Amino acid sequence: MSEGAETGRWFDGLRERLIRIINGIDIIVDRLGPKPRPTRLSLELPTLTRKGIPMANFPLQNDAVYVITIKGTNSAGAFEPLPAGDTFTVTCSDLTSIGVAIGADAAGNPAVIATPLKQLATGVSITVTDAHGLTSPPMLFDVVADTTVTALTLDAVDATHTPQAVPPN
């Protein structure tokens, strides 16, 4: 048998093995099923509690701009990647209290940019939708004054005193 014929049979055997491997991979992929897709959108915010009870509305301090990452969740509530190239729309129930726009977070993920426009506001609702028809549940926000401690001071007006003996010189 010629060397060319042996090489041809070797390639034919290799081709048959590769076809079997590819068919096996196809069977495994079919058994795994389609990749899970998000079924709704959510805004990535921490759950704030007061005395152990979750707060109904998320407070936005009136002296800060907020970048809130948009996530996709499946029917079980687990995070799923958003489709590449997806486009988003954000609506706000009171655009005179909070300005909203679609932007990106520091990692480049889609996000809502929320800018308080008033010193105080309550019960402002924000909803996000995407090009595939996914919607976030409405999120409620309150615009509040920033009460973060920025300095220490002594309250001399309300100081109390107790009598004592006069100290020696």
pTM over 0.95: no
pLDDT digits (tens, 9 = 90+) for 60-91: 999 999 999 999 988 888 888 888 889 999 99
CATH 2.60.40.1080 applies to domain 40-144: yes
Phi, psi for residue 10 in degrees, rounded to 5: -60, -45
Indicate the average pLDDT of the chain.
85
What one-character DSSP code corresponds to residue 39?
S
Q: Are 92 and 102 in contact (CB under 8 A)?
A: no
pLDDT at 24 over 60: yes
What one-character DSSP code corresponds to residue 36?
P
